Amino acid sequence: EELLHDKVYLYLVTNKLDFNYEIYEYAKKSYLFKDNELEIFISNYDDKDSVTIIALNYWELKEHLNFPYKLDENYVVMTPINDREEIPTTKPPENKNKKLIAFTFDDGPSKYTLELLNILDEFNAKASFFLVGYNIRIRNEIVVEMFNRGFEIGNHTIDHSRLTAFNCEKANNKINQNNELFVNLTGNEMRLLRPPYGSINKQLRECIDHPVILWSVDSRDWETRNRDAVVHEVLSHVKEGDIVLFHDLYSTTIDAIKILLPILYADGFKVVSVSELFAAKNLPLEDHQIYRKAS
């Protein structure tokens, strides 16, 4: 019921449902498992045209199910199993025609980053993490974990300084110090740069030997610190080829990702890293260039 409340609310705020939320408590509801989804029929049954169907897929339901379940390979339905039997996990089917978008997370790693990695892994999703040096120092084991699990790691400077306040030498020093921390942990270089605050100018662009990655969709999670607001902001603007800005500093962002991924995947999107996004579209990422989206 709580999950359904959330889904109804989400459909309302994203203008995908013409439904009076106040009458929800009084509506009759029927439930049907169908093709890996739970369909909820909401109606007062006075008029067949008044029926509204909201589908909750397995990935939204899995944390709320309170009975043993597994995916039946023959009938694609959920069937009871013995409590002692190991419950397999399943991932959404791959689709080569997915609409690709890149999720990016700034300012980490944080205490929420590992949870975020697990959520992304459930959907076979990747992302790019632009790490800041002072957090690398205190959570270096998370950096190694991210790297070993195949997530892209980019440079967000040693101390989150606004680079346009410095000349080329000092700006490069901020970048290189952070890269040195990463090399010492992983043996690899940080290739991509996201300047703090997205602040870059022509002079710096020409003297910094990195592709500069900005964004085309800002989730505004840093501003609202609100799960539903973040979900609404992304769903209202995202389209194929976009680079979406998040911050893995806030629990509300992690909660928003839990909602966004099943909705986006159901709508034909696939979440990848920045480099994967550009490679899939045969677009090079070149030094001294600024990128906001893949198009």
Which residues are known to be catalytic? 106, 247
Q: Are 212 and 200 in contact (CB under 8 A)?
A: yes
Structure tokens at 188: 């690899």
Task: Let me know: does 194 contact 213? Beta carbons within 8 Å.
Answer: yes
- 90-114 per-residue burial string, b: 16 or more CB within 10 A, e: under 16: eebeeeeebebbbbbbbbbbbebbb
Asked if 273 contacts 102 with a C-beta cutoff of 8 angstroms, the reply is yes
CA-based nearest residue to 140, from 112, 172, 118, 108: 108
CB neighbours of residue 30 within 10 Å: 12
